[in-house]
Chains A and B, each alone.
Chain A
Amino acid sequence: MSSHRLPIRSSELIDRSTSLSFTWNGRAYVGHEGDTIASALAAAGVEVFSRGMKYHRRRGILTANHWDPNLSVQVGDEPNVRAGSRRLVDGMQVSAQNVWPSLRWDLGTANRLVGRFLSVGFYYKTFMRPQFLWHNLYQRILRKFAPGGRVNWKTGTHGEYDKRYAHPDVLVAGGGPAGVAAALSAAEAGASVMLVEQEPELGGHLRWGGPDDLAVLADLRQAVYSTPAIEVLCDSIVTGRYDHNWVAVLQRSHEVAPERLIKARVGSLIVAPGLVERPYVFAGNDIPGVMLAGAVRRLINLWAVKPGSRAVVLSANSEGDAAVLDLESAGVEVVAVLDARAGEDVVEARGRGRVSSVQTGDGRILRADLLVTATGWTAPTSLLNMAGDRPVYDKVAARYFPQALPDNVLATGGIAGDGSTTELTAHGRETGLLAAQRALRLRHDRRAQTPRSPAPESDRPAAIADSRIPLRRSPHPECYRSTTHGLVDYSEDVSSKDLIQAAGEGFDSIELMKRYTTVTMGPGQGKLETVNAAAVLAEAMAVEMADIGTTVWRPPFSPVSLGALAGRIFEPVRRSALQDWHEANGATNLLAGQWVRPDHYGDPMAEASNVRENVGLIDVTPLGKLDLRGPDVANLLDLVYVNRWQKLEVGRVRYGAMVAEDGVVSDDGVTGRLAEDHYLMTTTSSGAGAVWEMLEDWLQTYRPDWEVHVTPVTGGLTSINVAGPRSRELLERLVDNVDLSADAFPYFSVRTGIVAGVADCIIWRIGFTGELSYEVHVPSGHALHVWESLLSNGSDLGVAPFGIEAQRILRLEKGHYIVGQDTDGLSKAPTAGLDGLVRLDKADTIGLPELRAAFERTDLPVLVGLQPDDPTIVPDEACQIVEAGSNQILGRVTSSRMSPTLERSICLAQVDPSLAAAGTSVTVQLVDGRRITATVQEHHAHVDPEGARQRV
């Protein structure tokens, strides 16, 4: 292969002493450190990098930077890599995307023959009908030709993505001369600065400029890197600006992660992205060898790559003029320079794999392999749009300018106007100072308002007026389209002809046209295409550009990988103090909300039977526990529970249920009175956080006069339920100072005592399992000792741990409902069977009017005990209860298990009130479609409905 590498250029980025090996479509190549993937390939003579999306025409280098639409490649298992900016790494395996079977022989080119069927709106018009073909045929075929690389989602080798937060006073988006100058002056003014540049090094257009530019750049770089208050992030992109200057920065090539998302709260955002050079629309403008002026300047000056041998240049500005000089200095023969300012034009480029000739506006046909266009600039105003600005078109300068910005967003550099390097850096410096001043005022306010920070030592910095001298707007011809048609959107293969056709079909608003034709919707998100699309529409509608408007640029500024958005995934997990023991002793875990807890230790049925026969231990630490203190606790309980609490004596516990203001059952639990003004409330495991916030809400906003302190103690007290007929006998061996006899410690009582030598244990006698049982709440740092003591002191009593599954069996045998399982988001108190509990004559209770209304209704579902007539069938939970001869739904099974005690299936179910009477036969539809009959029971409890077992 021939080398297109030029002799040493003073501005080159490559290190010729290095040699990096890589492959391109399986062939071996060599490049240097500092090369991009594209520059290394171009130096080796590669001209075709990709194929167009629809017509699969060959594509070469167009812009030679991050925005090049033709340089998306696959690198290893990473798709859509921008070869125009991604630096070469030794060992890279690079391949072309969107080609099949190969870049050279691409079957997709056949689409060209049926081109008229792929015209605008083709997808919408063609694949509508018949609908069944969508899944069976269209989708599969279209996917074959879909653009983009291969996502290797099964074997990601990218490592962890990462995230971090930042709080810079000033964030500068863009590391060109204006942005760098702004960062420096902001830092000098005392601000902390984050400077973000999307290319791998600072400098913007100075990098490919002349000796003066390079000297300025060297000074700026030296100053930035010796200023500690500036954090420089190259190869990084500001992807979005959100409310209150919440700014997202995607940092690439970080040493610990391929990409890292920085979430920055920024005092002032300086938008300095420079300008994006616009392609020119004419016939053949996508043939390899048609390049923008900036592309040839970068290839020659940054990477010492000769972009062609015979060039025609169409120039409307100084960048084009400079490209002519660069081409000449690189030994490229400049066949003709067409001055667009003087009305000269290009109408067509011809050639198959490479430009071979160029037809000019005056009819000449010039032999050339390179056509360079310099026809103007697009202001990438995305971040300004996101800050609420609607930039306006300036006909004289032929581009858009910012209109009105909020105080915390400032623009500088090319996006704000034109100027020499000196003028641009001067504007940048003034902008940086203004931004710093505004940010430091905000920081001052933040310090004054934040209690952890001492009051600021100095006064609030004075506001300074925006006295910046605006950058001028240099006249520029409106060069958008030649007399021929060509591509407007290279990523989406949308031509000017397509846009005119769309306008003709009535899609004559830019926002509608965008969605109909997909112009600007490719990976570049309009950086190259938006203004040309607006110009073509203006032409089609015969109106001024300014009247067309532009599409709104929304985040992200540049595509962001999903991995970066996901970042490091934090999923907090809660563990009781006994969880290590459980795992070391054969527990099979269950994730219940955030809690990891034992589902069972091998045989849940045996665990349940052991509780009925001997004694079992279960770790119920996830139960929400709230320490309540103060003289008004009883008032609070009266407000939040449906039952009465004023007469609960010290040493007693009581069951309580809560409803929300809409009368729906929200939580339940047991609350005990430990001392005169001291209570312990328990909640469901999943409701603990919500109940706590709810209590604070009522105390703070409704009854601030009540004296109650709420302290969550869930994890601090490890809760062990000791259940079974021999539980008292077991506890008596370990409890020192509490009389556990039935008379001294009756059902629904609470005592505080020493268990296994551990003081301050709270013991209450309740019975979720229906057996004699004690719940022992142990200070968690000593919980393991108590648990192990219970096991070692009860081996002769048959003590064994049991898990959640056994507990669910036991409570279902006993008919205890679970809020959220046997009730749902519509279940009111009567459904849950709370008739005996609710007191409607209280002065106030949360949801009182709804409670009263609910008890006047006769149509609410009723929770009932239910037993299938075939005792071997356990209907799945959530099976519907239906009318025998129809599909009318009359209820559902809310809980179901096989009962080891009864050796039959048992359920709880919500049924229509017409089915609630004991003895009613109902029809249950199983998951497999079979229907079975079941009989409504008199009680919720299937075992010991009288409660004799727990009151011993």
Chain B
Amino acid sequence: MIVVPCPNCGPRNSSDLRNAGEVAPRPDPETASLTEWRSYLYLRENPAGWVTETWYCRSGCRRYFTIERNTATNEIRESENS
């Protein structure tokens, strides 16, 4: 059970949050081709290393936020684009 640093609540057990996955920018639905759209839906980098991901503070402040997490070590740092 890792500790996720919620920017509002402070450090919390990950069971208090929901991992909403690697951040994937949403293409403009008006102009995106189906291929681009499906890349957004299904394709992720999934590196063994640093990933920018979204968490939802389900049992706490109920805010979505992003952090950077090293998937190999679970080291966590603030996201530059949070």
Cross-interface CB contact of A244 among B1, B58, B63, cutoff 8 Å: B1
The verdict on B49 contacting chain A, using a C-beta distance below 8 Å, is no
How far is it, in angstroms, between the C-alpha of A453 and the C-alpha of B58 when the chains are bound?
Answer: 20
Encoded as 1 (CB less than 8 Å from any B CB) or 0, chain A from 645 to 677 comes to 000000000000000011000000000000000
Cross-interface CB contact of A850 among B10, B18, B37, B64, cutoff 8 Å: B37
How far is it, in angstroms, between the C-alpha of A158 and the C-alpha of B78 when the chains are bound?
Answer: 47
Which residues of the partner chain A approach B44 to less than 8 Å between Cβ atoms?
A: none
How far is it, in angstroms, between the C-alpha of A845 and the C-alpha of B37 when the chains are bound?
Answer: 13
Q: Are B1 and A246 in contact (CB under 8 A)?
A: yes
Cross-interface CB contact of A449 among B5, B41, B62, cutoff 8 Å: B5
Interface contacts beyond A449-B5, A849-B34: sample of 15 additional A-B pairs, CB < 8 Å, sorted by A:
A446-B11, A450-B9, A451-B10, A661-B26, A661-B41, A693-B18, A693-B56, A693-B58, A696-B56, A700-B63, A700-B64, A702-B26, A849-B37, A850-B37, A853-B34
The verdict on B2 contacting chain A, using a C-beta distance below 8 Å, is yes
Residue in A closest to B28 when the chains form the complex, CB atoms: A844
Residue in B closest to A406 when the chains form the complex, CB atoms: B73
Which residues of the partner chain A approach B5 to less than 8 Å between Cβ atoms?
A: 449
Encoded as 1 (CB less than 8 Å from any B CB) or 0, chain A from 806 to 845 comes to 0000000000000000000000000000000000000111
Q: Are B29 and A701 in contact (CB under 8 A)?
A: no
The verdict on B79 contacting chain A, using a C-beta distance below 8 Å, is no
Encoded as 1 (CB less than 8 Å from any B CB) or 0, chain A from 429 to 469 comes to 00000000000000000100111010000000000000000
The verdict on B8 contacting chain A, using a C-beta distance below 8 Å, is yes
Which residues of the partner chain B approach A244 to less than 8 Å between Cβ atoms?
A: 1-3, 74
How far is it, in angstroms, between the C-alpha of A850 and the C-alpha of B9 when the chains are bound?
Answer: 37
Q: Are A265 and B13 in contact (CB under 8 A)?
A: yes
How far is it, in angstroms, between the C-alpha of A850 and the C-alpha of B2 when the chains are bound?
Answer: 36
The verdict on B32 contacting chain A, using a C-beta distance below 8 Å, is yes
How far is it, in angstroms, between the C-alpha of A246 and the C-alpha of B12 when the chains are bound?
Answer: 12
| Interface residue tally for chain B (C-beta within 8 Å) | 26
Q: Are B20 and A697 in contact (CB under 8 A)?
A: yes
Nearest CB on B from A439, distance (A)? 14
Cross-interface CB contact of B9 among A242, A451, A702, cutoff 8 Å: A451
Which residues of the partner chain A approach B13 to less than 8 Å between Cβ atoms?
A: 265
Q: Which 5 A-B pairs have the closest CB atoms?
A: A450-B10, A449-B10, A848-B29, A244-B3, A849-B37
Nearest CB on A from B10, distance (A)? 3
How far is it, in angstroms, between the C-alpha of A720 and the C-alpha of B54 when the chains are bound?
Answer: 39
Nearest CB on A from B51, distance (A)? 15
**In the complex, which residues 1-51 of chain B have their Cβ closer than 8 Å to any Cβ of chain A?**
1-3, 5, 8-11, 13, 18, 20, 26, 29-30, 32, 34, 37, 40-41
Which residues of the partner chain B approach A661 to less than 8 Å between Cβ atoms?
A: 26, 40-41
The verdict on A243 contacting chain B, using a C-beta distance below 8 Å, is yes
Which residues of the partner chain B approach A242 to less than 8 Å between Cβ atoms?
A: 1
How far is it, in angstroms, between the C-alpha of A446 and the C-alpha of B8 when the chains are bound?
Answer: 12
Q: Are A844 and B29 in contact (CB under 8 A)?
A: yes
Encoded as 1 (CB less than 8 Å from any B CB) or 0, chain A from 679 to 722 comes to 00000000000000100110011100000000000000000000
Q: Are B56 and A243 in contact (CB under 8 A)?
A: no
Which residues of the partner chain B approach A845 to less than 8 Å between Cβ atoms?
A: 29
Which residues of the partner chain A approach B32 to less than 8 Å between Cβ atoms?
A: 849
Q: Are A662 and B10 in contact (CB under 8 A)?
A: no
**In the complex, which residues 851-866 of chain A have their Cβ closer than 8 Å to any Cβ of chain B?**
853
